[in-house]
Structure 1
């Protein structure tokens, strides 16, 4: 299969390209060349900016395209117009953030989506991200129709994760001692290892599968408490968890999702408890949490310290202050 990948090679794109090459596909990477220059020697590279720079793709054909860096409908529309006659299937990597808030637990792929207050906006922030992704989906579906596939991942985790939204937990738990844990330990959590997402995405392209899919996991329901305990077991730590309620944390400026990853306010919890039956029935499979935790920790410990410097996660000193304040309340 001739496969065109729109996006960089920093995280998910790297695993997707590696998987495709390992399965014998001919891979073309179209990206700006800002990361991964020495990676993936078996792939063809076309450097360019998809916002106005798609001319380099002219005269080529691919069996499938995977677009994992589409955030603005105008830009995605340009890609669709260029590739509609040059590609068989267009797989668009969207997000579970497309849903209108609050998202009910066990929502399926036909749940109501977010709508932009200003359809012309190209500002990407917390208020617009979901609506922009939903609008991008519509552009892809309008252009490719039954040749379109929409994948809505949850939080993407694993080695090479530049966001620190999951690496925080294996790193902190491995250090041991008293660990500040957020909210209700029974609250559901969902996420997907980037390698499992890559395998599923590639499978959809190989099998020419149409449809819309929640790509998040794990296979069985998982609570925040069980997740943190599973990470502790995986990394062999003596960590003990002190659970502080969400009001205490929010009142003290701890940011859900970024300050203490995986945690979101209970009023928004449905987005971490979506129905994944369609994806499972289509072939989505999950590696064990322990494997993701150990691999992520090994990568995290090997990377340069300065790459974590700008991370928004809770710092050690602040965690100690909050634990003391919680104990003294």
Structure 2
């Protein structure tokens, strides 16, 4: 294992442990769960899976991972790792086993739920399906809760859709996730929890969809920002992961929107929180929605996190999370998410850190737009 990779894992583990301690209110310690569980995690090697594993272990649970085994092992001996390929219905390593709860992280196509249920039904007492707020058909109405109308699949056969098909046409993502939720409720009737996260942020995030901002504000200077009054919602991957484990401990059932903070946050408040955590190096230069539209600056990818707070996207960052908050979902300060992300980012290899980001404005494009605003 290369030195930078070892360091990356150590820092990720450290930030997870420290944050978990603050979540339960015991500095330096994570409170043991009331009852240890035998937890099966399908996946466990992506963004939130490692956070789930570390928090579950710190709470005293026994953890088994099931995935294709394509990632280097990084877990202590206490974590059991089973291999199989869900694309080809390879669940042999799960047969004849029992768990208290199964957390399904990676599923985006319904047949993965159906085929897993053929092995797990009767052998797990609780099924937690990690879905997405992309299941909703529209985002025009502010305050909608989990009962909002979901996207509808219009293809010939949802059970024939594969991950390969999905990667070719991401318009299928929301409808197939919605059908995967339905399949979960069907196969694991009376024992299913569906968690619908929004934008996931923090250490471990490889998408740059939030990370652009801490990286940009760390550089300082005049910084192009979108309308500061527009709302935003997101969730730290550790808050999402730890809450999923607590939902398993409490055996809380139902569908939940998982994003925060608990109260509405503006783009300006988010950027201020990040900037303050990083030493107030940046000076915000606000651009209007009209200016951004005229200059072909897109929401979400060009200026991450942000979408216009009116029109067809008025409800995108105003969807209700009240049910999840009532069920115990908690949130770290945005400044902590940003600082911990930068600590993790510093451990990545130089090529990744110095290469182009996967989202956000390139420096030369931002400079061009700032010059136009100045004129």
CA offset digits 1:161-196 (Å, max 9, x no partner): 1111111111110110011112x2111100111111
CA offset digits 1:4-62 (Å, max 9, x no partner): 00113232000001011111111001112233522454311112212221122111111
Structure 2 residue runs of 5 or longer lacking an equivalent are 1-36
Q: TM-score, normalised by structure 2?
A: 0.83
1:275 deviates by 1.1
Q: Partner of 1:254: helix, strand, or coil? A: coil
1:303 to 328, 338, 348: 348
Say if 2:63 is the partner of 1:27.
yes
Say if 2:365 is the partner of 1:322.
no
1:54 to 91, 109, 118: 91
CA offset digits 1:280-310 (Å, max 9, x no partner): 1111111222211211122123322322536
Runs of 4+ in 1 over 6 A off after TM superposition: none
1:225 to 265, 268, 279: 268
Within 1, Cα distance between the matches of 2:301 and 2:44? 23
Say if 2:330 is the partner of 1:285.
yes
Q: Assess if the C-alpha contact under 8 Å between 1:185 and 1:224 holds in 2.
A: yes
Within 2, Cα distance between the matches of 1:327 and 1:11? 39
Within 1, Cα distance between the matches of 2:279 and 2:148? 40
Q: How many residues align?
A: 327
1:148 aligned partner: 192
Q: Assess if the C-alpha contact under 8 Å between 2:262 and 2:322 holds in 1.
A: no
Say if 2:171 is the partner of 1:135.
no
Q: TM-score, normalised by structure 1?
A: 0.94
Task: Report the aligned-residue RMSD.
Answer: 1.7
Within 2, Cα distance between the matches of 1:297 and 1:212? 32
Within 2, Cα distance between the matches of 1:56 and 1:307? 36
Q: Assess if the C-alpha contact under 8 Å between 2:212 and 2:359 holds in 1.
A: no
1:163 aligned partner: 207
1:14 aligned partner: 50
Which range moves more in the overlay, 269-278 or 149-158?
A: 269-278
Structure 1 residue runs of 5 or longer lacking an equivalent are none
1:192 aligned partner: 235
Q: Assess if the C-alpha contact under 8 Å between 2:38 and 2:63 holds in 1.
A: yes
2:256 to 213, 218, 226: 213
Q: Assess if the C-alpha contact under 8 Å between 2:67 and 2:83 holds in 1.
A: yes
1:148 deviates by 0.5
Q: Assess if the C-alpha contact under 8 Å between 2:224 and 2:370 holds in 1.
A: yes
CA offset digits 1:104-162 (Å, max 9, x no partner): 11111111111012153443244221111111000000111110110011111110111
Within 2, Cα distance between the matches of 1:297 and 1:48? 34
Q: Assess if the C-alpha contact under 8 Å between 2:307 and 2:313 holds in 1.
A: yes
